[in-house]
Amino acid sequence: MKRAGPASRFDFTAVLRGGDAVSWPQGTGEPASLTRRLVAQRHALAGIDLFIGMMTSDTLLPECADGFRIRALNGAGSNRRLAAAGLLDILPVPVSTVPELLRSRKIPVDIALIRVRPSAKAGCFSAGVVTDYTQALVAAARCVIAELDERMPLTAQDALIAEDDVDFLVDADGDPVLLTDPEPNAVEMRVAEQVAARIPEGATLQLGIGGLPVAVCRALQHHRKLGVHSGVVSDIVVDLIEQGVIDHSNKGADAGKMVTGGLFGSERLNRHADGNPAVEMRSVEYTHNPLVMAGVRNLYAINSAIEVDLSGQVNAEVAGTRYIGAVGGHGDFVRGAQASPGGRSIIALPSTTPDGRHSRIVDTLDGRPVTTGRADMDMVVTEYGVAELKGCSLSERAWRLLAITHPDFRQRLSASLKQR
């Protein structure tokens, strides 16, 4: 391992070859000092490919495409502006498969950029905030460049990276990527109330990030003995822990532990996780594994969607012609939760688009992606109620979904359904 000074002065021309693929962890795991340096040097590099997950920073602007070819797992977060400009080549794969795709070089990565801090375990660094496929990036890369940042929380398990696997160690000299929870709107709060009414005491939660997950957590403030097994968590989970709502006591597997692969939050969440033995950082091969979820009691997976058709097919990727979502862990958790004893899968979404012009319960997906198939569906929730789909015929599903559609769209959808 070579010490190479501040990240903002690292010379990428000395290590990159023409046609190399560069990657880094998602969200808050981005080593921002290094990635900004890479962008600044892009015109001196020859034909570099990028492989990215969800970015939440302003590192990659559309004008950066003059130096990179960009493949991405999704069009969410700040990836949306790249997708809107037609600059992303989307990989429609479940996030649970990414580690093996990296190791087999079906997703090639030559240079891995990561964030680390010193670990309590000798000979190791801690990757701190994001572990979903970080270890696989390190294993796949020819060269690993690590940004040393002691502002990160000290975490263990799959956050541990062997010092011998790091080729260059640079010092972080810029601001880290942090996230604050958005404020839910009134419709999201109404959806959340419907969701919370279906979650029993002692359930284990899987949540995403954004306004609706925040609203669901707020609606759960009178519950007790909840646990967490989730791909990512945000600051709102700390609120529920401090309020005594979450204690992880009834989980079965990993009792007493919050299991996640990503701390997508602010300094508050990082402080909670720092050296906390009740926080376990795991890869997607654990968090998204149906065999693991089958050992978790009462796992309630709460995911959203862009739209659901009247047969129960879910599109979580494309709005109109814009790629704004992801395959992500959608199908993994929909199926995994139903493998859990007492577990349920909830697809929660407002009944209309934010401007009220379009229903998000639709007659047909009309060629748009089927992210999760109708055969895996359990519950769909809008602000107008719950459609229980499991075990229902196609006609039963359609009428139940129609009942939770916004009233402005029910007549048209009903007419279309009768015609069919």
- Between the alpha carbon of residue 411 and those of residues 384, 402, 406, the distances in Å are 15, 9, 10
Looking at residue 417, its pLDDT comes to 85
Q: State the DSSP H helix or E strand holding residue 50, giving kind and residue range, or none if neither.
A: strand 48-52
Other CB atoms within a 10 A radius of the CB of residue 241 amount to 16
Looking at residue 234, its pLDDT comes to 98
Three-class SS of residue 190?
helix
Buried b (16+ CB within 10 A) or exposed e, 13-24: eebbeeebbbbb
Find all residues with CB under 8 Å of 353, minimum gap 6, and list them.
319, 360
- Mean pLDDT for the stretch of residues 1-23: 94
How far apart, in whole angstroms, are the C-alpha atoms of residue 304 and residue 314? 9
Label each residue of 366-415 as H, E or C.
Answer: CCCCCCECHHHCCEEEECCEEEECCCCCHHHHHHHHHHCCCHHHHHHHHH
Looking at residue 3, its pLDDT comes to 87
0.85 cut: is pTM over it?
yes
- Between the alpha carbon of residue 161 and those of residues 12, 35, 80, 335, the distances in Å are 22, 20, 31, 31
Q: What is the pLDDT of residues 289-300, one digit of tens each?
A: 999 999 999 999
Q: Helix 394-403 to helix 407-419 angle, to the nearest 10 degrees?
A: 160
Q: Does pLDDT of 420 surpass 80?
A: no
Three-class SS of residue 194?
helix
Q: Which amino acid is at 298?
A: N
Three-class SS of residue 237?
helix
Give the tokens for residue 148.
């040393």
Largest CA distance in the chain: 70
Q: What is the pLDDT of residues 80-115, one digit of tens each?
A: 999 999 999 999 999 999 999 999 999 999 999 999
Other CB atoms within a 10 A radius of the CB of residue 247 amount to 18
Q: What is the pLDDT of residues 377-395, one digit of tens each?
A: 999 999 999 999 999 999 9
Q: Does pLDDT of 405 surpass 90?
A: yes
Three-class SS of residue 284?
helix
How far apart, in whole angstroms, are the C-alpha atoms of residue 44 and residue 66? 12
- Structural domains for the chain: 2-171 (3.40.1080.10), 186-419 (3.40.1080.20)
How far apart, in whole angstroms, are the C-alpha atoms of residue 312 and residue 394? 8
Q: Which amino acid is at 229?
A: H
How far apart, in whole angstroms, are the C-alpha atoms of residue 262 and residue 281? 7
How far apart, in whole angstroms, are the C-alpha atoms of residue 108 and residue 95? 15
Q: What is the pLDDT of residues 321-361, one digit of tens each?
A: 899 999 999 999 999 999 999 999 999 999 999 999 999 99
User: Taking all residues of the chain, what is their mean pLDDT, rounded to a whole number?
Assistant: 96
Looking at residue 119, its pLDDT comes to 96
Three-class SS of residue 419?
helix
Please provide the size of the chain in residues. 420
DSSP state of 130: B
How far apart, in whole angstroms, are the C-alpha atoms of residue 272 and residue 115? 19
Q: Which of 190, 192, 252, 253 is nearest to 223 (CA)?
A: 192
